[in-house]
């Protein structure tokens, strides 16, 4: 019988080869659960799938780049019924205290915004044809944004803007999609201990393990929350910083150590 900890049994997760994506996959893994997992690193993705299968789940890994719209559409359309889709794949890059190169900005937006759309839009089409469950929901789509969505930090302009875009898109779309039984969730975590944050050379307040973040994410989705932001003190701080006059906010942030400008593999 399926594990009743979470109310979904068919789950698709992008960026599942490491970090929060891997933690989400393992948190969902249980007997009776099918996991469709994607990532660009085939070897690491296979390790995630093996760990999920050890927990009793059926894991179906697929090496795909979320920037490939056609491949993503084929993969999602062929997955069958999907109770939950998590658009988790993303990249991070800062300026290192310098001007952000155009190639960096384009790469961040291509993965963090276009990649999310390449995941969520085919999922919306697929879920619209599904019969609703006992709760009247045909399916759920969660996009992984960040508390950075609420702050225009000069050290990571493309990253902050990309996360703000998907956070607002998901929250706005939920208002209309729920009319046809599809829910959207904007997940806005703080600092999570992952390979992505491992490059940071500045203090990361309230840094948490990926496993804890995964449970907070899935718990918020299960409760039907549109915005899932954590930890609360960091979220509040981001909202307050975002409300400062732009010149004052920029002056304060420019005093902090810069985030590394190198894009991850």
Segment (H or E) for 189: strand 182-189
Catalytic site residue from 159, 191, 230, 235: 159
User: Are the CB atoms for 160 and 148 separated by under 8 Å?
Assistant: yes
Considering only CA atoms, which of 188, 185, 36, 63 is closest in space to residue 120? 185
What are the two backbone dihedrals, phi and then psi, of residue 21, each rounded to the nearest 5 degrees? -60, -45
**Rounded CA gap, 177 and 207, in Å?**
33
Pairing mode, strands 192-193 and 34-39: unpaired
> Does 230 participate in catalysis according to the annotation?
no
User: Are the CB atoms for 151 and 238 separated by under 8 Å?
Assistant: yes
* DSSP, residue by residue, 218-244: HHHHHTT-SEEEESHHHHHHHHHHHTS
Q: Give catalytic residue positions.
A: 159
């Amino acid at each position: 019988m399926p594990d009743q900890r979470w109310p979904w049994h068919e789950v698709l997760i992008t960026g599942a080869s490491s970090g929060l994506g891997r933690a989400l996959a393992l948190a969902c893994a249980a007997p009776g659960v099918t996991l469709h997992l994607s990532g660009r690193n085939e070897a690491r993705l296979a390790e995630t799938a093996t760990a999920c299968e050890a927990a009793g789940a059926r894991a179906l890994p697929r090496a795909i780049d979320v920037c490939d719209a056609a491949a993503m559409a084929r993969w999602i359309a062929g997955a069958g019924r999907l109770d939950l889709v998590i658009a988790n794949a993303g990249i991070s890059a800062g300026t290192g205290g310098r001007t952000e190169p155009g190639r960096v900005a384009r790469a961040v937006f291509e993965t963090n915004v276009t990649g999310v759309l390449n995941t969520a839009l085919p999922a919306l089409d697929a879920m619209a044809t599904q019969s609703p469950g006992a709760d009247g929901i045909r399916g759920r789509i969660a996009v992984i944004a960040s508390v950075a969505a609420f702050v225009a930090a000069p050290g990571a302009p493309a990253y902050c803007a990309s996360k703000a875009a998907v956070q607002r898109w998901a929250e706005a779309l939920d208002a209309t999609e729920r009319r046809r039984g599809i829910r959207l969730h904007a997940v806005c975590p703080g600092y999570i201990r992952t390979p992505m944050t491992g490059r940071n050379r500045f203090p990361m307040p309230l840094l948490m393990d990926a496993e804890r973040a995964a449970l907070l994410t899935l718990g918020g989705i299960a409760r039907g929350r549109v915005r899932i932001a954590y930890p609360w003190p960091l979220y509040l701080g981001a909202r307050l910083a975002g409300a400062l006059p732009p010149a004052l906010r920029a002056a304060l942030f420019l005093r902090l150590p810069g985030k590394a400008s190198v894009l991850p593999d």
